[in-house]
Chains A and B, each alone.
Chain A
């Protein structure tokens, strides 16, 4: 990419794609697939899904930030 001589291209791709993946998973119609009357340990599936994806995004972003920090 234009200003990132030290950042590996694969890392840049991951940084760009992560929000796209998040948007895909959290927008209809994908999110609608989980709005079912199913419980996971007493908690509705949709709540588990929503917060699960959310937390997943945070973990991925933290991991990428760490990689980026290490690549200088």
Chain B
């Protein structure tokens, strides 16, 4: 067993270490060497101020009473952090860009820097948090008494004497000193406290290690294994489905909301945030932290229930289990863990609340009644620091008084959830403020007021059990004896858990009023401006709107305010900065719009938006907000979206057009090349006969005494060459006519077999001369097609004669067959000649292409035959193709669609 003095000394040493860490952190920050102070791990550990002594001791107590229900308090925050992308990201972003100092500042900034909203949120936060601070004081006091009390009844976890208020008072005083020392050192523009954050991070490690040490001891040293621990659990503790009812859902959502709305959580998550990247790490590291915290809660609760004497206080199991097991070191560690969780909560809560109280309650009153002068001689900074220090003392004193008054009852046990329910009243205003453009100050105020009052009436006041404001009789029978007004069965809604009941009424009224009142009134210009800044936080940079507010001020007044608030050096720097931004080129200080906006933003960083606006308003004359500009900015987002959508569409269209153009260009280039080639081919083809005609006629002209036989031969050659020239020109003309489709053809229904027969007959002579065997393949029977008989014959003759002419095989043959394939009539002309080279296949139907050019034939041909045939088939609505290479020779296929059976026609 540990002696009281030893515990006291250990605690003091621990506190000294905390002071040292906070001092070191502060000094590092002041020297600009932030380093690990800004690391994601320290950020996450500071967020774990969520786990207070209510977690450290209370979670086990809750598990002993309601088994798994305790987990909801940690599952809710897990879901919120795991889903940080949805809400926290925007919240932190706004907090950083707008220089938000507290949750009250956040809400009031959003709703047009409304001072009354800031005051109301502050009030709700103070009322909701003070009992929570009392709970921490009680936990530390009780645990100190339990661990330092000798004797068997210490194990019951209930101090022998009543709570030692003297110890409680000194603890509160110690915390006040720490908070004042490190929380109100200076008025920082960003309201960040690096020293405090460092100490909180250390405490977070201590409480996690302590709780896990107790857990490991219970599971492996006391019981032996997890299975043995769970074997000792009472069956009704774990195998009940009742846990997963409306209360399970409510508590999960409530704790998820609280992790955002609790003033201390908002402070560490949003205000102390140094980089949005840190949030990314916290999104999984903080859930991991609460997971580890929760891991051993159930085993400790089961062990406490089964090993410790019946009637022991479950809220002290974390401390009494190691004491029972005789593990003094672990017991001391557990005590320090509980001490850590309590002190860190109280310190951060005091900083957050004192900022709110001084900025939103004291400052507006001071400004109104001219306690502080903004002009020369006014000591605003000093006033602000003093008011914060007094606020801290006041809040801790309030907490201590609450503890003193209710310390002997069990009323404190439930205060954790009651506190949660109180602070989540700001949630509707917060969510609407970030997501709904039309939410305005009147709506938010009405919602907050109704929600706060209903929460106080249905949950907070009844928790005193009739000792405060509401008498026991009122709680039992309703205010003024009206049954409908029973606090825990409001309007006859009975049979549900009081917490669920209260949350239902307060949050419903809160949200409904927020929406309805918002819809009833047009927002004021400033509200509109702020709503744009918040709702479109990611799209509208703060600078974009600074030019919207037109204000004028006497240069003297405004610069005096700047000097008073920021100090001479900072004020001069700001003035110069604004001079540059204003772009008027003058280096001298000016009180332009840019400077006033800058100054207001800087002031808001320390006194909150509402008070900063009030201060500025005192020295400026006239303030106008350009509504048109504002609407333009609000519409900007929509416009940019629309614009980018259109741009995308247009670029797709352009791409398609460019593709078409490029294809057309390719085709044109090809056509151009073809035309050139055609011209040169024609010239060449025409030149050869012309040359021979010219030379022979020259001989005839020059040589008078030519023999008749010789002259006759020459004349015949001239004649033949002229004929060839004519044929060439005829073909060329024919092709040109075909290509341009000028003459209409008369298509008649005819038997294509006759045309084919005719063509074969025509080519027979040629075949006999060249010793090519003409093989008749199988033939289609009784077919009728729409065609022109002469043209069809022309195609067949061209194909067959080509096949004969260019066949250089040893035993040459040409095979002609026809068939009905699918819906078309086909004629195949095959040969066993040299075939068509792969690189010629594509161009075979172009003009002047002799597919057989490589065969070095001497046979003359214009090279237009296949081109003409292709055009003819095209105009007949059929096709002419070269069949895929089958190894030997070439095979052309002529196809005509829409044949009819001659028998039925």
How far does the alpha carbon of A50 sit from the alpha carbon of B231 in the complex, in Å?
Answer: 18
On chain A, the residues within 8 Å of B747 by CB distance are none
How far does the alpha carbon of A58 sit from the alpha carbon of B241 in the complex, in Å?
Answer: 25
> Which A29-43 residues sit within 8 Å CB-CB of chain B?
31-32, 35-37, 39, 41-43
On chain A, the residues within 8 Å of B539 by CB distance are 2-3
> Which B187-241 residues sit within 8 Å CB-CB of chain A?
225-228, 230-231, 233, 235, 238-241
On chain B, the residues within 8 Å of A2 by CB distance are 538-539
On chain A, the residues within 8 Å of B226 by CB distance are 41-43
Q: Which residue of B lies closest to A29 (CB)?
A: B244
* Chain A at the B interface: SS class: helix
B79 within 8 A of A: yes
How far does the alpha carbon of A51 sit from the alpha carbon of B281 in the complex, in Å?
Answer: 21
Q: Which residue of B lies closest to A53 (CB)?
A: B75
A27-B252 contact, Cβ under 8 Å, with A43-B227, A61-B287, A62-B284: yes
A39-B80 contact, Cβ under 8 Å, with A3-B538, A47-B68, A65-B281: no
> Which residues of A line the B interface, CB within 8 A?
2-3, 12, 15-16, 18-20, 22-23, 26-28, 31-32, 35-37, 39, 41-44, 46-47, 50-51, 54-55, 57-62, 65, 68-69
On chain A, the residues within 8 Å of B231 by CB distance are 42
On chain A, the residues within 8 Å of B248 by CB distance are 27-28, 31
How far does the alpha carbon of A25 sit from the alpha carbon of B235 in the complex, in Å?
Answer: 24
A47-B245 contact, Cβ under 8 Å, with A19-B86, A22-B78, A65-B284: no
Q: Does the CB pair B68–A46 fall under 8 Å?
A: yes
Partner of B227, one of A27, A31, A42, A58: A42
B681 within 8 A of A: no
How far does the alpha carbon of A16 sit from the alpha carbon of B84 in the complex, in Å?
Answer: 9
Q: Which residue of A lies closest to B281 (CB)?
A: A65
Q: Does the CB pair A50–B239 fall under 8 Å?
A: no
On chain B, the residues within 8 Å of A27 by CB distance are 248-249, 252
A50-B71 contact, Cβ under 8 Å, with A18-B82, A28-B249: yes
B295 within 8 A of A: yes
Interface residues of B, count at CB 8 A: 43
Q: Does the CB pair A16–B86 fall under 8 Å?
A: yes
On chain B, the residues within 8 Å of A20 by CB distance are 83
On chain B, the residues within 8 Å of A31 by CB distance are 244, 248
Q: Kindly provide the distance from the CB of A10 to the nearest chain B CB, expressed in whole angstroms.
A: 13
Q: Does the CB pair B244–A65 fall under 8 Å?
A: no
Q: Kindly provide the distance from the CB of A54 to the nearest chain B CB, expressed in whole angstroms.
A: 6
Q: Does the CB pair B230–A43 fall under 8 Å?
A: yes
Q: Does the CB pair A50–B68 fall under 8 Å?
A: yes
Q: Does the CB pair A15–B85 fall under 8 Å?
A: yes
Q: List 29 A-B contacts (CB under 8 A).
A: A2-B538, A15-B83, A19-B79, A23-B79, A27-B252, A28-B248, A28-B249, A36-B239, A39-B227, A43-B230, A44-B233, A44-B238, A44-B239, A46-B238, A46-B239, A47-B238, A50-B68, A51-B291, A51-B294, A54-B75, A54-B78, A54-B287, A58-B284, A58-B287, A61-B283, A62-B285, A65-B280, A65-B283, A69-B277
B288 within 8 A of A: yes
On chain A, the residues within 8 Å of B285 by CB distance are 62
